[in-house]
Amino acid sequence: MNQERGNPGDQVITGLLSRHNAWVEQTHISKTPTLFVNGYEMPVNYTVDDLKAMIPGLTESIPNVVELKSKTISHKSQ
């Protein structure tokens, strides 16, 4: 870093790194990569392949949620 000249870019980078490190400590992230699903750390006993296998079952329920929302909206507008 160019501390002698007081480069504003260095100060920005230092600030961003400081905030990032604080966030890592606050969230207790201890390794990278860390995979989060819906805001929760994926348990270590599951692999990415396990997650891929679960996704089709999860996505099958999404059209039902969208359909319910559209029925609710159309019901209220009638």
Q: Could you read off the pLDDT of 21-37 as tens digits, one per residue?
A: 999 899 888 888 888 88
pTM value is: 0.43
Phi and psi of 36, rounded to 5°?
A: -110, 140
C-alpha closest to that of 52 among 30, 33, 72, 37: 37
Q: What is the pLDDT of residue 29?
A: 86
Q: What is the C-alpha separation between 11 and 17, in angstroms, rounded? A: 10
- The percent of residues in the chain predicted with pLDDT above 70, rounded, is 64
Q: Where are the domains of the chain?
A: 1-30, 35-78
Task: Tell me which of 54 and 3 has the higher pLDDT.
Answer: 54
**pLDDT tens profile 57-66:** 766 665 555 4
